[in-house]
Structure 1
Amino acid sequence: MSIERSNKTISEKCKLMTKDALSFKKRFTETDSVLQCLSQMYTALTKEDYEDDWKETKTVSQKDKGKSPTPISHVKFVIEDVCRKISRSSADAVGERCRKHIDQLKETNKQLEEEKMTLLTRLSKFAGANLTDNNPNIADLSDPNRPTKLAEEYSELYDNEWTNAYECLQKSKKSEEDIQTILTNIIKEAYSVCGYIGKRQDTVIRSELLSPGDSYSNETLDKGSQTRKKSARQSAPEKSKDTKDKSKGESLSAVQSKTISELRKQTVTSSASNVISYFKTHPQFKEWFATSSLDSYSVRCIKICWLMNIQNPPVYMEKEVKPGSEFDTSKYKSYTKAGKKLAFVVWPALFLHEGGAILTKGVAQGK
């Protein structure tokens, strides 16, 4: 009887142990699945394979000291390890993204700063052009041929070359009045011709920029080659006397006009030489270069007058003064004789522009 009872007890314990074993197996299988799932999640989040350090770790919590490692504690370790690694990886990823974003913002800021400086430069240039274009009251101190400097050269011309030419003409036994008339007419005529050439140059440049096709309106095409009936240089000035394209009603902006003015000043050395050559080869002005003294005087007159006329607006020379008019001491100095009335002009007065302030006084004979 006791043996049967003992066998029954053993049988029941075996059943319980089998049940516990099956339960452990199930829990172990589930644990393994959880571990695999955690490993897959880690790989998906970090793009890296998860390395299980459970067997190598020697870290045991205070609570688990003295106990054997279990599947549950393994899962617990893996969960904590995965969370730690993901957190660190996420922090690195976030930091990298932040660094890239900061670099992008810096690059964008640099581009915006460059655009800002470009726009400020353009705005400053536009404002400056609007302020100075055709405004002689604002002097360009960087221009070596600005009106005040031209006035100084104009005075030096009278003191030096004019005097030398006067002494040279005295040897030809001409009267004092005739000599003064010859020298005065040279400076006046040079100013007038340079003024015409300067206006024509400005008109041609503006016309070509606004309506280049008009220069070729009188041209024909002959077997693929152009045959001119009339040159563009001859036809362009006849199109218009102003700066507007009358066919379209367009005109150059202040910045564009300023650019043309600056270009004409920058090429003044070549253009002045060309204008001087024009005078020297034209029969009308042959007598201006008859002697070396007259040649030096005439050449300098032409050069200064050309420089006057490419200013914007041109420096103004008072050429027409009626004899017998009031002697204006604010404009003229006496030559050899003072008086309330003006007899004749020896050296014309110079003004900043027509109707503007006087740059240098002229010389006139009083009576």
Structure 2
Amino acid sequence: MSNELWKKDNPKLLDLNNMYKPEVISKRFLELYENEWRSAFQELSIQQESQEHVAETLLNIVMASYSVSLRMSGFQLQNLQSSVKRDMLLLNGKEDHLDELSERNKTLYELATSNIMDLRKILSPTAIPAIKNLVLDNLSKDHDLSYRKETKMAAYIDGCVELTWLMCTLDPPMHLETCKSQDPASKYFRSYAKSGKCVQYCVWPCLCLHSNGPILKKGVAQMT
């Protein structure tokens, strides 16, 4: 069965491909901000007086999720590619370089590599719990995580981990851009509660198709 035919006749993969479309992910990312983020903000505001501190906590979660997802997706892809290359070299009696494969087997390797991206999509749901644990471990080094058991916060964390993992398993990965205090107003961010000429604090990251790529969803910043 050809590569394209296998994809065409695989309903599960077709569903996954739709889930991994950048426009679908960007829409869900906006919904995460408008729903889970707002609910978590209200829940956390009961415990913390400063809105800026609450926003910072929520921003740290989504950016930690992105950082861990980006790192782990890179490791995963590298390991899968190395495994395919190693197996093909062994089948050809080689143990050193891909360059020593025949032209035919180079083509097969390239085909296998392209299908690795589909394999990652199929395996994606099984990786998310492990990614979540890594995110929480990462955050616990510098932050109090007593809030993690709150209902709305838990839903927000789950949403951040799932969506950033989807972003980072694309090729190239999607990109999240933040801003910092005193940055000038830019096309990447819209105002939160008040407008102004420079940033007071970042509320929500900007989502780009890839690093230095076009904006899919503007971020949100409190301006001054």
Using structure 2 for the length normalisation, give the TM-score. Answer: 0.78
Structure 1 unmatched runs, 5+: 1-117, 126-139, 214-245
Q: 1:310 aligns with which of 169, 173, 192?
A: 169
Aligned residue number for residue 48 of structure 2: 173
Aligned residue pairs: how many? 199
Corresponding residue for residue 151 of structure 2: 292
**d(CA) in 1 for partners of 2:177 and 2:58?**
15
Aligned amino acid, residue 175 of structure 2: Y
- Residue 339 (structure 1) shift: 1.2
CA distance in 1, matches of 2:37, 2:122: 28
Partners in 1 of 2:151 and 2:32 — Cα distance? 15
- What value does the CA root-mean-square deviation take over the aligned residues? 2.8
User: Residue 282 of structure 1: CA displacement?
Assistant: 7.2
CA distance in 2, matches of 1:162, 1:204: 34
Deviations 1:292-329 (A, max 9, x none): 1111111110111111111111111113x34222211x
In structure 2, do the counterparts of structure 1 residues 183 and 292 end up closer, same or farther at CA, with 3 Å as the change threshold?
same
Higher relative contact order (CA 8 A, sep 6+): 2
**2:181 is matched with which residue?**
323
1:255 & 1:210 partners in 2: Cα distance? 12
Using the TM superposition, give the Cα deviation of residue 279 of structure 1 relative to its aligned residue in structure 2, in angstroms.
4.2
Equivalent position of 1:248 in the other structure: 97
In structure 2, the residue corresponding to 1:317 is in which secondary structure?
Answer: strand
Q: C-alpha separation between the residues in 1 aligned to 2:136 and 2:200?
A: 32
Q: Does 1:191 align with 2:59?
A: no
What amino acid is aligned across from residue 65 of structure 2 in structure 1? A
Other-structure match for 1:162 = 37
Task: Answer yes or no: is 1:361 the counterpart of 2:210.
Answer: no
Secondary structure, aligned partner of 2:222: strand
Q: Displacement, 1:209? A: 1.8
Q: Measure how far apart 1:169 and its partner are.
A: 1.0
The whole-number CA distance in structure 1 between the counterparts of 2:189 and 2:137 is: 34
Structure 2: runs of 5 or more not aligned = 6-14, 89-94, 100-105
Counterpart CA distance in 2 for 1:292 and 1:305 is: 20
2:64/2:139 contact within 8 Å kept: no
User: TM-score with structure 1 length normalisation?
Assistant: 0.49
Question: Is 1:347 aligned to residue 196 of structure 2?
Answer: no
Distance 1:342 1:281 in 2: 30
